[in-house]
Structure 1
Amino acid sequence: MMKYDLVIIGFGKGGKTIAKFAAAQGQSVAVIEKSEEMYGGTCINVGCIPSKTLFHGSRQAISFDEGVSRKRQVVQALNKKNFNNLNEDDNIKVLNYKAQFKSNDEIELLNEQNEVVETISGDHIIINTGAKPVIPEIDGVKTSKYLYDSTGIMNLAEQPKRLVIIGGGYIALEFAATFTNYGTEVTVIERSGRLMAREDDEIAAEVVKDMTDRGINFVLDAQTERITDKDGYTVVETSQGSFETDAVLLATGRQPNTDLALSNTDVKLGEHGQVKVDQQLRTTVPHIYALGDVKGGMQFTYISLDDFRIVRDALFGEGTRTTANRGAVPYTVFIDPPLSRVGLTAAEAREQGCEILENTLPVNQIPRHKVNNDPRGLFKVVIDAKTDLILGATLYGAQSEELINQVKLAIDQNIPYQVLRDNIYTHPTMIESFNDLFNIKQ
């Protein structure tokens, strides 16, 4: 039985990065990945990179076929680059098998026929197997030939004239924006009574208005009951009516991928099926770690990268970096225009008992909007009235995906809002809006 210093199950962002670092320290490393299409992990192959490439194409006046072709080229290039980066390292062995735990220390490698071909072990083991789509119990889901998950919808051979999206979360909204830009008629079916419930009410309303103005049909308080294929199309039946469509996207969330025979170990799962970890990402077995989406929480590739930093510090450093001190975490919803946020909304700050100051700036008040030819959007910030520190920001508008990182930095470094207010910015830019956004009347 081959024994390695470090065994990593999954080729995701955090796993591949710790593999390369450990190898540079002279450790023997095994990276187990069952699918050649997943070298580099979810983000590169079926998540952020392909979906945002397709979205970017939708805004460049190119056809859907051209967008899919460019997306495919980008993914193939990055997939190959990631494989070569590890495979060409003398201290790393890439093993193309399905991994199953035999014990706390041993991992069985299975071929496509689910036959055990080898058993390996590691001084330390990292679970980095990501997440998979949630498939709801809806009549017709398993048999419809017009139904796709978020991976399949990006590989369509032909653009659908009509698309029904089941689910109204952020992934659903991003695909709704993308396909609408390409000219597809989009209907979003959401079971709750509102969209973007975690966001600022005023900004969420702006988003829904803008997307509705673009032609997207939102159907709320709707339970999807049945999907029935017809000759050349399908019908989605809901509690709010039936909808004929050429394609259906299931966007009902993702769940941790823990198909690893963990019952053969002492690794415990949480109430949502995630691998339970402590603040240093150790599981309930001290030499086994979990990072990325499989451990639950926010499903972002940059979280997986920061998970790498935590595990690196635990294995090779002083062990002081934890999930508790990684700072504020920003995110962007790539709709059109994008919505970006970090920290608290005003409502959340008040709920926590904070005395706050806030300010709002419509994008049509920012000079750069004339250059962009896009007046849509609204920026908001929330300030602690006692300390002048920034509690949060929600930026809905062009280039917000870049601007939000400046606010994150200010929050993490305890920079008073006046510094952003009085800073000199280049012109004409979107970031110069901070001069006005942070000009808060007390």
Structure 2
Amino acid sequence: MTSTNYDVIVIGASKGGRFFPIDFAKAGRKVALIERDQIGGVCVNFGCTPTKTMVASARLAYQARRGAEYGVHAGPISVDLRTVRQRKQGIVEGVRNSHESRLTALQGRGLDLLMGEAHFIAPKTLEISLKDGERREITAPLIFIDTGDRPEQLTIKGAESVPVLNSTTIMELDTLPEHLLITGGGYIGLEFGQMFRRFGSQVTIIQPRPRLLMNEDEDVSNEITKILREEGITVLTETMPQQIEPLDGGRMRLTVRTPQGEQQITGSHLLAATGRVPNTEALTPEAAGIRLDKDGYIQVNERLETNVPGIYALGDVKGGPAFTHVSLDDFRIVRTNLLEQGNASTRGRLVPHTIFIDPQLGRVGLTENKARKQGRNIRVAKLPMNAVSRAVETGETRGFMKAIVDADTQQILGCAILGAEGGEIMTIIQVAMMGKLPYTALRDGIFTHPTLAEGLKALFMTLDS
């Protein structure tokens, strides 16, 4: 078995991991990038890119069915799931090939791209099982772990007796489910639930907790539940899956426990969207002395370094918000500290996110619940989307804008924008928060009329009405 010494080893080629090798190689370091599956990680191959591509198809189907409301008559609408899948795959391959070309351009010029599985055999030593069957030992004083996470398996009784879909495999279906059962009321379950309902499936979402999206305020969760039900989705809260059993014809029966008692639901497909688990087992982190939390995520400090000096973790594998933009910002922090001799950390960073249901939910900063639990003196601004001219004109009046403001300093503490292009509108507030603008700067600003962003002026005017 050959052994090679490097300056830097990067395990995993997702959002953060694929930038590390490029920057370190250009800085004159000898870098090994190890990827066991596909360049781009979850985001490009199984997450952001493919799901949002399919969300776009679902929205188009929904809008086409609404044509008569706008005086446009298009006839019956049907969805060819095979074509949706092919379009999705084409976009994924294009993005992945673009990332691969940037990496392969540096192959042999400071960067070695190793396709295979890595595991620690000592604190700074890895053994690689390459896809061609070769085994290689490599070492480096700096190691970055960016192996991400994966869907959690469904553990209810009988799960092994039926095909259980996850957020990856559901996107490979060529035929539309007749009745899709979804366990889990987080953003993954909601995005796929609305998507397949718009494609034409009957959809039931089973949420064990009291409401959907438990990290959001009650009014946000309740409004989203109302929107989903208006589209014909069955939402069952405080409902615990108990058992699944196969039926003839490829169907299945799910037994659930509800506040009203036991109930049985018959479906054609089952999607498990109950959570994710870190990709750490195959790494054998114990061989390097790397400390994990109780769920198997790698523990890091605010500079993203593990308890083993010189070993860092970024992205989903370290826990915390599992968003691609977090992985990219993790890369910024480590690059700043190690290549630019800076002093960046995760302390106090704003982490926004958008849930790509329709209308979108964009949010950043504190929720009302969290602000009150912290004992803050707050004011809450809220404006229904039907009070925004552009939303009325486009027929996109569902949802509302909500912002949390510090009553003493006038600083914006957070917002939730549930409305058309909610993620884009939220970003405006995020930038204001980054610049520490008081809410009055948006209240008194001049916005183009008619735009959705103009609603921010009206939103903050509610605090002084």
- Shared fold, TM over 0.5: yes
> Which of 149, 154, 172 is the equivalent residue of 1:136?
154
Distance across 1 between alignment mates of 2:134 and 2:126: 10
Q: 1:299 aligned to 322, 328, 353, which one?
A: 322
CA deviation profile, 1:246-286 (whole Å, cap 9, x unmatched): 11100010121102011211111012211011111111111
1:95 aligns with 2:117: no
1:19 to 15, 18, 21: 21
Q: State whether residues 252 and 269 of structure 2, in contact with CA within 8 Å, keep that contact through their aligned partners in structure 1.
A: yes
Which residue pairs with 1:243 in the alignment? 265
Alignment equivalent of 1:274, drawn from 280, 297, 301: 297
Distance 1:319 1:281 in 2: 14
**In structure 1, what is the equivalent of residue 57 of structure 2?**
57
1:369-393 CA distance string (max 9 Å, x none): 1332121111111111111100111
Query: CA offset at residue 123 of structure 1?
Result: 2.1
**Structure 1: which amino acid aligns with 2:341?**
E
**2:124 paired residue number:** 105
CA distance in 2, matches of 1:347, 1:254: 25
Q: How far does the alpha carbon of each residue in 1:198-218 deviate from its partner, in whole angstroms, 9 at most, with x for none?
A: 212222211111111111101
User: What is the CA-CA distance between 1:190 and the residue it aligns to?
Assistant: 1.1
The farther-off stretch of 195-204 and 23-32 is: 195-204
For the 8 Å contact 1:58–1:64, the answer to whether it is kept is no
CA distance in 2, matches of 1:116, 1:266: 26
Query: Does the CA contact (< 8 Å) of 2:81 and 2:173 recur in 1?
Result: no
SS at match of 1:13: coil
How far off is 1:427 after superposition? 2.1
Separation in structure 2 between the aligned mates of residue 226 and residue 220 of structure 1, nearest angstrom: 17
- 2:307 maps to which of 260, 284, 307: 284
Query: Is residue 108–residue 116 contact of structure 1 (8 Å, CA) maintained in 2?
Result: no
1:95-124 per-position Cα deviation (integer Å, ceiling 9, x unaligned): 1110011101111011469x7611111121
**Paired-residue identity, %:** 36
> What is the letter of the counterpart of residue 124 of structure 1?
L
Cα pair 2:211 2:221 within 8 Å, conserved: no
Amino acid at match of 2:122: S
Deviation at 1:197, TM superposition (A): 2.1
DSSP-derived class of the 1:59 partner: helix
Answering whether residue 353 of structure 2 is matched by residue 331 of structure 1, we say: yes
1:224 to 2:211 alignment: no
Decide whether the 8 Å contact of 1:58 with 1:67 is kept in 2: no
Deviation at 1:330, TM superposition (A): 1.1
State whether residues 8 and 30 of structure 2, in contact with CA within 8 Å, keep that contact through their aligned partners in structure 1. yes
With 343-352 and 121-130 compared, the bigger mean Cα shift is at 343-352
> Structure 1 stretch 124-133 or stretch 353-362: which is displaced more?
353-362
Q: Calculate the TM-score normalised by the size of structure 2.
A: 0.91
Gaps of 5+ in 2: 62-78
Give the secondary structure class of the aligned counterpart of 1:27. Answer: coil
Report if aligned partners of 2:130, 2:136 keep a CA contact under 8 Å in 1. no
* Conservation of the 8 A alpha-carbon contact between 2:246 and 2:252: yes
Q: Which residue of 1 aligns with 2:64?
A: none
What is the CA–CA distance in structure 2 between the aligned matches of 1:142 and 1:84, rounded to whole Å?
Answer: 40
- Structure 2 counterpart of 1:107, one-letter code: L
The count of aligned residue pairs is 437
2:92 corresponds to which letter in structure 1? V
Whole-angstrom distance in 2 between the partners of 1:292 and 1:441: 41
Q: Distance in 1 between matches of 2:440 and 2:83?
A: 46
- 1:193 aligned to 192, 203, 210, which one? 210
**Pairwise mapping of residues 357-368 of structure 1 onto structure 2 (< 5 A)?**
357-368=379-390
SS of the counterpart of 1:323?
coil
Q: How far apart in 1 are the matches of 2:80 and 2:354?
A: 25
After the TM superposition, which of the residue ranges 368-377 and 300-309 deviates more from structure 2? 368-377
Cα deviation for residue 337 of structure 1 reads 0.7
Task: State whether residues 2 and 121 of structure 1, in contact with CA within 8 Å, keep that contact through their aligned partners in structure 2.
Answer: yes
Partner of 1:77: 94
